[in-house]
Amino acid sequence: MDRAENRKAIITGIFLSLGLVVFVIGVFTLGGSQKTFSKSIHVSANFSDVSGLKPGNAVWFSGVKVGTINKVQFAGMAQVNVRMSVDQDAQPYIHKDAGVHVGSDGLIGNKIIVIEGGTASVPAIQDGDTLHAVKQLSMDDIEKTLQQNNENLLSITKDFKQLSHNILEGKGTVGALLADSTMGQQLKASMRNLQATTQTAARMAEQLNAFSRKLNTKGGLADELLTDTVTFNKIKAAASELQSVVKNANSTVENLNTATKKLTTTDSAIGVLLNDPKGAGQMRTTLHNLQESSIKLNDDLEAAQHNFLLKGFFKKKAKAKEDSLKNAGKD
């Protein structure tokens, strides 16, 4: 019996020793993961919303776990103070202007504190410092944004539905174009005209370019006008003379206008003949009387030539005319 009891005692001692070793290893392992036995400093940050953060959660910096959360407590109206411990090994790399925000360990993991940013020229954090909390979009904010976007999308859908309905009914310019074939044909005709006008404008531009090249040709008229002062002065003198001619022509035209105006009045003989029927009739009567008088005078003169009293006078006059003609022929 003694031997059996001793055997049981030895086995029991062995199991107790193994259990104690496992316990000690577990304690050190858990403490190492929680940074319980490492030297650390304490910093804090004030948040308006910690999104379910609680003591014991991890603190991360650049993707590395550098500490744990020690305490979460209210610090004022809508303010939550989070106190955390940070390993001294990571202290030189975290600067006072670094920002902290609440994150997640994975998509649906535990809430954590994430430290990021910081400037190398700014001193490193010290024990008791308060870091700046950066507000991040929460799931509620994202849901509110999505809800607002859905409302906007619904409003746009309604407007588009109304617009498409009006188009189908032929309302508006687009609806008229789709429903009225005549307007569509007119639009096509307008586009063809616009295309033709564009082609014409392109041809005109080419012609203008060719014309400008000709103007810039060495020895041409435009080149001489721009470079030869003698030619320019000649053209200037010719223009002055042309201006004088134009002035004289204008004066002549004014005189002609004045004369024409006089012809349209009854102040002159020609004006009476052209514009006064009564005066023209009198003038015609006078001319007729003069013609008849001249005819009668010729008859009287012819009768006087046959009169025996004046017959000798007329013969002498005719003979003297003949002698003068003969003398002129001899000369």
78-137 per-position pLDDT tens digit:
899 999 999 999 999 999 999 999 988 876 678 999 999 889 899 999 999 999 998 876
Query: Per the structure block, which two tokens stand in for 193?
Result: 């005209």
* pLDDT the model gives residue 198: 87
* pLDDT the model gives residue 126: 93
Q: What is the mean pLDDT of residues 162-186?
A: 69
Per-chain mean pLDDT for the chain: 77
* pLDDT the model gives residue 28: 58
Q: What is the mean pLDDT of residues 211-220?
A: 68
Residue 124: domain span: 35-136
In the block, tokens 């586009």 appear at 191
Q: Is residue 44 part of a domain?
A: yes
Q: Is residue 122 part of a domain?
A: yes
Question: Each residue of 252-277: pLDDT tens digit?
Answer: 777 777 767 766 666 666 666 666 66
Dihedral of CA 256/260/266/272: which sign? Answer: positive
Percent above pLDDT 70 for the chain = 70
Distance between CA atoms of residues 9 and 122, nearest Å? 64
| Helix, strand or coil, per DSSP, at residue 41 | strand
Distance between CA atoms of residues 253 and 246, nearest Å? 10
Of 3-7, 20-24, 163-167, 313-317, least confident by mean pLDDT is 313-317
Q: What is the mean pLDDT of residues 60-86?
A: 91
Phi and psi at 220, nearest 5°, equal -75, 175
Q: Grade residue 226 by pLDDT with cuts at 50, 70 and 90.
A: low
Other CB atoms within a 10 A radius of the CB of residue 85 amount to 22
* pLDDT the model gives residue 98: 93
Q: What is the mean pLDDT of residues 10-38?
A: 68
Q: Grade residue 30 by pLDDT with cuts at 50, 70 and 90.
A: low
Cβ contact 47:79 at 8 Å: yes
Cβ contact 81:74 at 8 Å: yes
Q: Is residue 109 part of a domain?
A: yes
| Helix, strand or coil, per DSSP, at residue 54 | coil
Query: Per the structure block, which two tokens stand in for 113?
Result: 């504190």
Cβ contact 223:232 at 8 Å: no
* Amino acid code (one letter) for 291: Q
* pLDDT the model gives residue 138: 65
Q: What is the mean pLDDT of residues 14-32?
A: 71
H-helix or E-strand containing 70? strand 64-76
State how many domains the chain has: 1
Q: How far is residue 249 from each of residues 37, 49, 192, 260, measured CA to CA in Å?
A: 120, 99, 50, 16
Cβ contact 187:177 at 8 Å: yes
pTM passes above 0.85: no
Q: Is residue 257 part of a domain?
A: no
Q: Is residue 98 part of a domain?
A: yes
Q: Is residue 13 part of a domain?
A: no
| Helix, strand or coil, per DSSP, at residue 132 | strand
Q: What is the mean pLDDT of residues 4-24?
A: 76
* Amino acid code (one letter) for 8: K
Q: Is residue 176 part of a domain?
A: no
> How many alpha carbons lie under 13 Å from residue 247 in its C-beta half-sphere?
6
Of 49-58, 84-93, 201-210, 228-237, least confident by mean pLDDT is 228-237
Q: Is residue 56 part of a domain?
A: yes
Of 30-34, 158-162, 181-185, 315-319, least confident by mean pLDDT is 30-34
